[in-house]
Structure 1
């Protein structure tokens, strides 16, 4: 656990130390989150660690990339304003506050306004911590594809957060198929979208452990769209949970969710219905297919699906 007088990273800026401390102090005042005791209880016990994280990227040019531990100092102003404020909010619940106080790795990516990144950004680190976190900021009018295939080797309870902050009119394709090795995992992929932005999410999960997936986007304004294609395969004896929530409202603003779930025991696929968090009249639709091992999952997916190609070779 992060102490009140200590940082997790060397040369951690004062604003982050204070933010971690505040999260620790206020944690008990926030609402409880579903299943949080499985994580909080595990974090109070032995801390699992096995070596150093590898594969995080440094890049200067059409976009900026840094390990998050480095970016909190080098890009302090932008992260002080955005880290766990707009997409994954640290004040939304006790587990989120605990995650902020323990963030121990991850990636920072920044795409400036009006920038087209022609080659997909490949993010494929091996992360050893319990609380990795990505912050991805895409400026107004920019276009980018990011493909994340991280290996999470921690043997305990892992909370992996990815938050995307997408500027007005930007077009973002975000593809993720992370693999977890520990006793349980929570993968949050949360987005804040400014007016007129479009996000296409492809999310795959087939780790041989219990995984809870939280998908969220706040669609802020007119002509904003979010679409997610999700493939979840449950290994024998594991529970796979999916909680999709959208918020926001605007003329021509839409949310679409397509889910393919496969497990030997369909009761182990616990998929919540797509809903709005605040009851706003957002145009949302979903289609969910639950398949047994005898069904051909990959025949159900679009031929050009990134998930089809990625999971078939996992």
Structure 2
């Protein structure tokens, strides 16, 4: 991979330049990650920022800014949390490469004890290889976020979402992104403090090969992760979904429900598991639909995903 010698964005703060360079220098010391070569081989050239439109800007009951602005305006918060708690850049070579090459993204911050009325809707159109969304929700805050991005690029893409939740926070996160690129890795990772509850509705039906990583670290008692996923594999493409939880604490639990539809063996569904072996209360349910069935008909009546298929 090409060595980083300058900032990716104009007016990029020094801490981010150093963090990018450190990730690039230390990358090979970290463990290898599954399928990483398919991405790393395509990222040999220097980063050239792509085009993006539709980033959200808001300053009121919550804050939303393009990531390129937030790294300056919320410098300390981003320095402490970007690719640290939910998606650790030191966990593997591909994660480190992603951090060093983030070329655009979204920042959303919901302060403590804030209830955001109505969903925050994020629907950018991107020609980026490494978009990154960082969502920080303070203690006791409540918010619903809907993301329906379109990512178009000529190289494999690594699209990451990090959700960091304070004590007792409530987040309902919905995502149905579409990829138009040779291959994509969609990462949706979270860090949850005690008593927090994250509800996820995730859908994917892109006409390309997409690997999805769902993960949360449940840090303390009575934290809960409840995810529903619907995956449809168009002819000629491939999908893989990997749900993993870690954490501890009395009453801490995770629940995963998945509906998958494909012809042949081009859909790989992994069961919900723990990454570190810590004892967690897990409930996993997976349904494979026949090709002639209508996926929307099998989803719960109140599902946000019903009108996406």
Both structures adopt the same fold (TM-score exceeding 0.5)? yes
The two structures have a TM-score, normalised by structure 2, of 0.97
2-side partners of 1:194 and 1:308: how far apart? 31
Q: How many residues align?
A: 309
How far apart are 1:5 and its partner, in Å?
A: 2.2
Aligned counterpart, 2:283: 285
| Cα separation, partners in 2 of 1:139 and 1:236, compared to 1, 3 Å | same
CA contact (8 A) 1:2 1:102 kept: no
For structure 1, list consecutive stretches of 5 or more residues without a partner in the other structure.
none
Q: Is the 8 A contact 1:134 1:161 kept in 2?
A: yes
Distance across 2 between alignment mates of 1:200 and 1:113: 19
Per-residue deviation, 1:293: 1.6
Match of 1:271 among 241, 261, 269: 269
Alpha-carbon displacement from aligned partner over 1:184-231 (angstroms, at most 9, x marks no partner): 000000000000000000000000000000000000111110000001
Structure 1 residue 296: deviation in Å? 2.6
Paired position in structure 2 for 1:116: 115
CA displacement at 1:45 relative to structure 2: 5.6
Matched, 1:38 2:38: yes
Tell whether the 8 Å contact from 1:48 to 1:156 is kept in structure 2 after alignment.
no
**1:185 equivalent in structure 2:** 184
Looking at structure 2, the residues matched to 303 and 144 of structure 1 have their Cα atoms a distance apart, in angstroms, of: 22
Look up the SS of the partner of 2:77 in the other structure: helix
Q: Is the 2:212–2:241 contact (alpha carbons within 8 Å) kept by the matching residues of 1?
A: yes
Q: Which residue of 2 aligns with 1:140?
A: 139
Task: Determine if contact 2:8/2:47 at 8 Å carries over to the other structure.
Answer: no
Q: Does 1:250 align with 2:237?
A: no
Structure 1 consecutive aligned stretches of length 4 or more whose deviation exceeds 2 Å: 1-5, 45-49
Deviations 1:228-267 (A, max 9, x none): 00011111121101111000011111100000111112x1
Q: Which deviates more from structure 2 when the two are superposed, residues 22-31 or residues 233-242?
A: 233-242
RMSD of Structure 2 on Structure 1 (CA)? 1.4
**TM-aligned CA distance change 1:293 to 1:165, over 3 Å:** same
Using the size of structure 1 for normalisation, the TM-score is 0.96
Matches within 5 A, 1:205-284: 205-265=204-264, 267-284=265-282
Query: What SS is found at the alignment partner of 2:5?
Result: coil
CA 1:30–1:143 in 2, change beyond 3 Å: closer, same or farther?
Answer: same
Segments of 5+ residues of structure 2 without an aligned counterpart are: none
CA distance in 1, matches of 2:142, 2:47: 39
Q: CA deviation at 1:128?
A: 1.1
Contact 1:30 1:91 in 2 (8 A): yes
Q: 1:91 to 1:47 in 2, by over 3 A?
A: closer
User: For residues 149 and 2 of structure 2, what CA distance do their matches in structure 1 show?
Assistant: 24
- Residue 299 in 1 paired to residue 301 in 2? no
| Residue deviations 1:110-132 (CA, integer Å, cap 9, x gap) | 00000000110000001111000
